[in-house]
Amino acid sequence: MSTLFSPLQVGTLTLPNRIVIAPMCQYSAEDGNMTDWHLIHLGGLALSGAGLLIIEATGVEAVGRITPRDVGLYNDDNQAAIARVLKAVRHHSRMPVAIQLGHAGRKASSHVPWEGGQALGPDEGAWQTVSASALPHAPGEPPPLALDVAGLARVKAAFVQAAQRAHALGIDAIELHAAHGYLLHQFLSPLSNQRTDDWGGSLENRMRFPLEVFDAVRAAVPVSMPVGLRLSATDWVEGGWDVEGSIAFSKALAARGCDFMHVSSGGVSPQQKIPLSPGYQVPMAERIKAEVDMPVFAVGLITEPEQAEAVIAAGQADAVAIARAVLFEPHWPWRAAAELGAQVEVPPQYWRSQPRELKALFGDARIGAR
């Protein structure tokens, strides 16, 4: 029996297996609105047989988008555009769908990656960014404004309103984005947070605003809707955010009713030195899993089914999240099920693709059906 294909309880949500499709920015929205690209992209992934699909980082306010092409959920048009895509996806797939809500902070107002990813210029539609402190992400970039008390309240309210819109859409779960150098991560890391008030300095103070956002979102949606968080477990920079801080943060979240942790790393500083290797972030997920009583997702160069199975079987994480691998191979869970002797749910339109030697792969599929 494959552990990767065993069910997982995440709050009130039951995942049919432990393969999570991680959120992946597509930079294809118009004024924050999903387009036909998202219908094609998410529709395809929803047929992959994974246990959970997480919609890409979705800005809770317009100035919180990484680029002008990011998806948002801050107005009625944004909500209607997601509703259109979600309706089509749900018509053909029973896969649970979550959404990642985030704010880019000082990493906002940027070009899309295939145009360089650098900060937009004044004549390119740039907008004023915000952060924990008035420190630019990289030398030469425009400095952000340090959020004052009113700004903190505005951002927190934006997260709440986006969460309420997500619930109204019928989305199954919310993931708050506190990783990859975006705003909530900017408060956690001493590299980006040099405040001297209640939201800076000590570990307790640097965790304060992200925890306030979590509390506000948790209170704004029903208990039946799981709320989790993605964090960068380390900055990969000496003197930056680290695994010990991540453990303390995860424990504080667990005490507040957090339903899952999604463990990544890096993104807050161009000085980071990441030792890339297969599964390089799994040990950090394992450290956090040992300290908290909630599901922990591992991510990071997990590309092979046997590798994913080993992570779950060894108890290093409760689920594995894949991103680039599933972009390259959209039916990756099919291959994983075939290699691990498991079954995967596949729409009947695809049943006849099942190889005869794997006649049990698609469950009730009828080989040779016309």
Residue range 190-225, pLDDT digits in tens: 999 999 999 999 999 999 999 999 999 999 999 999
pLDDT the model gives residue 231: 98
The 3-state DSSP class for residue 61 equals coil
pLDDT of residue 152: 98
The full length of the chain comes to 370
Given a cut of 80, whether residue 243 has pLDDT beyond it is: yes
Q: What is the DSSP letter of 358?
A: G
Residue 6: Cβ within 10 Å count:
15
pLDDT confidence bin for 367, thresholds 50/70/90: very low
Q: Evaluate if residue 369 carries a pLDDT over 80.
A: no
Positions marked catalytic: 182
- Domains delineated in the chain: 8-330 (3.20.20.70), 343-370 (no CATH)
The whole-number pLDDT of residue 217 equals 98
State residue 359's pLDDT score.
79
Would you say 48 and 334 are in contact if contact means Cβ atoms under 8 Å apart?
yes
pTM, entire model: 0.96
Spatial CA neighbour of 183 closest among 137, 216, 119? 137
Lowest mean pLDDT, pick from 3-7, 18-22, 34-38, 341-345: 341-345
Using a pLDDT cut of 70, give the percent of the chain over it: 98
DSSP state of 63: G
Mean residue pLDDT across the chain: 96
Cα(44)–Cα(59) distance, rounded to whole angstroms?
23
> Over 80: is that where the pLDDT of 78 sits?
yes
Q: Is the pLDDT at 366 greater than 80, yes or no? A: no
pLDDT of residue 357: 85
